[in-house]
Amino acid sequence: MERGVSLERALEIATQLSMQRNPEALPLDQASGRILFDDLSSNVDDPRFDNSAMDGWAVREGDCKESGTVLRIVGTSQAGSTEVPLVGKGEACSIMTGAPIPEGADAIVIVEESTAHGDSVTINGPARPGFIRRRGENLTKGERPLKSGNLMTPSAISLAATMGHDMVSVVRQPSIAVIGVGDELTPPGEPLSENSIYESNTFGISSLVKKMGGIPRRYALIRDSIDDLREALDGAAESCDAIITSGGVSMGKWDIVRQIMEEEGDVKFWRIMMRPGGPPLFGSWKGKPIFGLPGNPVSSHVVFTVLVAPWMSKSMGSDEPHGSRMANRVRVTMQEPLNGAPGKLCMRRISIRQEGDSLVASTSTHQGSGNIHSMVAHNGLSLLPPDTNCEKGDTIDALWLS
Ligand code: AMP
Ligand code: MG
């Protein structure tokens, strides 16, 4: 077991233990936001045939060298037409966007630059070969523009349909147990006894798991009892792909997640040199990866953001910059001084906004790691290296939370 590791080292250790990556076949309608399991190749050329990019006239370019040329209309090609007239010398075929180019034609005159009268048309503008969209110019049959690990964005969904796929193979969503531990916790909605508080972390962490593309399994709260915790962990290891606990990982007598993991589990690291969120542990329980997140609500969110999110992303084989669904790294100019932390990466809550050409940041609320409102009131985290402070006007690394 390693103790007091850097965030980079924590990530390195955690990524040595991943979840199983399994495929799931889904109707395209349901694949939005999922990660592609296999490369997806095109069943067709795109475009499938030469067609017009504009409404107008399919003509022979050579016929239209002079403005005012009059051509004989031979018919119409509309999108979906199966019978398209030939265009001979001195002829034009009315054509709509997406309609097949008639044999003999090699350019398009747009409708705005023509005047039709009876069975002939006067051409008042240039005939443009560039307005013909050529067969296969976007994709050729068999090409693989979507790769394993790609996120199925709305445009990727559209592309999959363009290529003829009504089903796609995506990465099955991992199911992740979320277990809250603490005698003082009461589920929201229930009456509070003296000195108890509403439990929030299992809700927040479940929501984070969902955002990263997993399926959270929120467990009933565990009292500070080793036996109850063991039972919950055993059940979770059987039925889930990974486990996240909240609370009970510090040095206290009742920090039972740390205790049980030290005695009966396999701890890979404990404590990360970061603030907030110092006490997390990572290891395995009955073969399943387990993250022991701190109980302080801000700490658990921050540790999820910088550790669990990139781990999930990597483990699911996503090629998104890891953790980018949660946050993107940016440079910001601080509008006020910021205190760092001795020996620790310091992630203070900051508000990032665009001002002119640069991103600026400031802080507003109380920064305590118990104050979850600070995560709502801000949209970023500073990344102050250990033992550094920042002055007003300094430009620093930060995470812009999405
Ligand atoms: P612990 O890590 O168990 O020592 O908890 C640290 C702090 O976080 C304490 O103030 C706890 O009351 C609080 N806390 C622990 N778990 C939760 C939770 N699930 N929801 C809200 N606060 C919690
Ligand atoms: Mg506790």
Phi-psi region of 278 (alpha: psi -120 to 50; beta: other; left: phi over 0): alpha
Check whether 365 has a pLDDT greater than 80. no
Nearest-angstrom CA–CA distance, 242 and 103? 61
The residue whose CA is least distant from atom 10 of ligand 1 is 296
Q: List pocket residues of ligand 1, CB cut-off 6 Å.
A: 180, 182, 184-185, 197, 199-202, 246-250, 252, 294-297, 370
pLDDT (0 to 100) of residue 113: 97
Look at the chain and report how many structural domains it folds into: 4
Is position 69 within any domain?
A: yes
Of 133, 156, 183, which residue sits at a domain end?
133
Average of per-residue pLDDT values in the chain: 97
pLDDT (0 to 100) of residue 252: 86
Check whether 92 has a pLDDT greater than 90. yes
Q: Range of 156's domain? A: 24-41+147-171
What's the whole-model pTM score? 0.94
Of 315, 340, 365, which residue sits at a domain end?
315
105 neighbors 54 (Cβ within 8 angstroms): no
* Banded pLDDT at 390 (limits 50, 70, 90): very high
Q: 282 and 177, same structural domain? A: yes
Is position 320 within any domain?
A: no
Is position 322 within any domain?
A: no
Ligand 1 atom with least separation from CA of 249:
2
Q: 298 and 214, same structural domain? A: yes
Is position 321 within any domain?
A: no
Coil, helix or strand at residue 112: helix
The enclosing domain of 72 has a CATH number of: 2.170.190.11
At 306-360, the pLDDT tens digits run 999 999 999 999 999 888 999 999 999 999 999 999 999 999 999 999 999 999 9
The enclosing domain of 165 has a CATH number of: 3.90.105.10
pLDDT (0 to 100) of residue 74: 98
pLDDT over 90, % of the chain: 96
pLDDT (0 to 100) of residue 307: 98
At 254-288, the pLDDT tens digits run 899 999 999 999 999 999 999 999 999 999 999 99
Tell me how far the alpha carbon of residue 343 lies from the centroid of ligand 2, in angstroms: 25
Nearest-angstrom CA–CA distance, 8 and 12? 6
Q: 78 and 14, same structural domain? A: no
The count of C-alpha atoms lying within 13 angstroms of the C-alpha of 230, restricted to the half-sphere facing its C-beta, is: 9
Nearest-angstrom CA–CA distance, 247 and 346? 21
Ligand 1 atom with least separation from CA of 299:
8
Is position 371 within any domain?
A: yes
Is position 190 within any domain?
A: yes
